[in-house]
Chains A and B, each alone.
Chain A
């Protein structure tokens, strides 16, 4: 079975500071990994995904994530936080095959950006 653990339900950073949101996964097969963002009262929007190509993945809005197999991690980073980055972020894992590429989500991390 696959699972995702997001360390820290809330993360607070100052505007302009580094954003680091942590995600560790468990999977018995090579995983596909995703980061989604949810703004208040909206659905989830894909930020980026890893599908066994380059281990450093660049996404929208200046975010990137690095797949580290040895650490079973897929942490999300952004060099300089912006007020508009305040949202909830979800890490998700899929086995990339089989029935509809089902996603297993982490519990989410709420990012607060202070001015």
Chain B
């Protein structure tokens, strides 16, 4: 049971480059989420999705794009990376049957130089 995986686990890129972070879950959960974790801020929601082809903005969506063509995948793209996007990114999934419990991936550490 692979659960929820993220790739890459570590990424170094340069300002202005496009970067895509991948998230894959094997549970067929309908809901998926992207968070960023920064010191002193906890986790902040970037985007979320209720099902394939249904996505919506969270608290900090600027500079990010998501898509969800298949239930199991929810990639996050930084269209033109900036230093302020240096962070740890977590993907999560949930199902309405679990009363809001979210299951998290291991995270991707992104450094933008």
Residues of A within 8 A of B (CB): 4, 6, 9, 32, 34, 36, 41-46, 49, 51, 90, 94, 96, 99-108
Contact B90 A49 (CB under 8 A): no
Nearest residue in B to A106 (C-beta to C-beta)?
B42
B residues in contact (CB < 8 Å) with A: 4, 31, 33, 35, 40-45, 48-50, 56, 58, 90, 92, 94, 96, 99-107
Among candidates B31, B48, B107, residue contacting A43 with C-beta atoms closer than 8 Å:
B107
Counted as pairs of residues, one from A and one from B, with CB atoms less than 8 Å apart, the total is 71
CB distance from A95 to the nearest CB of B (A): 9
- Known contacts A34-B101, A43-B107, A101-B96; 17 additional CB pairs below 8 A are A9-B40, A34-B100, A42-B106, A42-B107, A43-B4, A44-B102, A44-B104, A46-B103, A51-B99, A99-B50, A100-B33, A100-B48, A100-B50, A103-B43, A103-B45, A107-B41, A107-B42
Contacts A43-B104, A46-B101 given; does A102 touch B40 at CB 8 Å: no
Shortest CB-to-CB span from A103 to chain B, Å, is: 6
Tell me if B48 and A99 are in contact (CB < 8 A).
yes
Contact residue among B41, B48, B103 (Cβ-Cβ distance under 8 Å from A102): B48
Q: Which residue of A45, A46, A105 contacts B42 across the interface (Cβ within 8 Å)?
A: A105
Q: A43 and B105: CB pair below 8 A? A: yes
Task: Let me know if A90 and B42 touch, CB within 8 A.
Answer: yes
Bound form: Cα–Cα A13–B103 in Å: 29
Cα of A96 to Cα of B43 in the assembled complex, Å:
18
The one of A32, A45, A107 that contacts B100, using a Cβ cutoff of 8 Å: A32
B107/A96 in contact, CB under 8 A: no
